[in-house]
Amino acid sequence: MQQVFRTILWQAALLAALAAPSGPAAAQEAPDCARPLSLALHDHGLLYSADTSSGIDKDIADELIRRSGCRIHVQLLPRARIWQLIESGALDFSLSGISTREREKFAAFAWYFSNKYYLLVRRDAQVAKLDDFERNKALQLGVIRGFRYSDSANRLVDALTAQQRLTQSSSGLNALFSALLAGQLQGMIIEPFDYPTLDSARIRELTSIIEFGDKAVPHGLIMSRASLPEAQRAAWAGLIAAMRRDGTMLRIFEKYFKPDLARAMVLAD
């Protein structure tokens, strides 16, 4: 697993260019707290655990509430449902989101970290490289419903979807890990937030990790274009920028990752 950690550390020097939020670069006004706002978390490894009611996203949400002084109703929802509600305007915010061409139509983003994706495969699937997985028609890939990944990972997901070789989970990572251990899946896509589960002896014994080879993908605060006007999106992006600038974001990540890995992931101001 240490090798996986090392492979993502090189990205730190490349991240500064991604630090500017999607949309206006700086807040022109304070967040408007005239109405209660809404934010959804999703259960995903170190980002948020429903079992412990803790995680990186929860800490960021708490800090946004503290800095803004706004009333924000925080709830737990499946990722696919979150995107639907963001699009309709029924949900104002979520966290740790990545952009796609389709999502940019209804959501704006304020970036604060970046990470790479990996393919976790069962050793008995005899997969040495990505092409091996796609060519073997007997292999099934597990993903979380509503997730998108890096370019190569997305291409694999789309190809296997067309071949009906994709298993989608609405209940999160644990269901996919259980299916992988049971042999119902032969692979799943992972990221650094999944590392604690990967450290289990059973997972290490049965699996290996293959790199997609893509650049790190920026993640950020998701803001609904339907419910938040442009000036307010800029105001909330300003809070995220301030958390990067004063070191708060890095300190949050350092609660969950070793310092070198946290620094490689968190976007520089």
For the chain, give every domain's residue range. 2-115+217-265, 118-211
pTM of this prediction?
0.87
Structure confidence by residue, pLDDT tens digits, 28-45: 589 999 999 999 999 999
Residue 170 is given by DSSP the state S
Give, in order, the Cα–Cα distances in Å from 239 to each of 21, 36, 72, 89, 225. Answer: 11, 18, 15, 21, 17
Residue 48 is given by DSSP the state B
Helices (H) and strands (E) in the chain, counts: 11, 10
Question: Helix %, strand %, coil % for the chain, to 5?
Answer: 45, 20, 35
Distance CA 152, CA 211 (A): 10
Structure confidence by residue, pLDDT tens digits, 221-242: 999 999 999 999 999 999 999 9
Backbone angles phi, psi at 73, to 5 degrees: -80, 115
Closest by Cα among 253, 264, 265, 233 to 59? 253
- Residue 28 is predicted with a pLDDT of 54
Q: State in words which class domain 118-211 has.
A: alpha beta
Alpha carbon of residue 145 to chain centroid: 13
Report the DSSP beta bridge partners of residue 74: 39
Asked if residues 64 and 239 have their Cβ atoms less than 8 Å apart, the reply is yes
- Residue 200 is predicted with a pLDDT of 85
- Residue 56 is predicted with a pLDDT of 98
2-115+217-265, CATH topology level: D-Maltodextrin-Binding Protein; domain 2 (3.40.190)
- Residue 195 is predicted with a pLDDT of 86
Instruction: Give pLDDT < 70 ranges for the chain.
Output: 1-28
Asked if residues 142 and 179 have their Cβ atoms less than 8 Å apart, the reply is yes
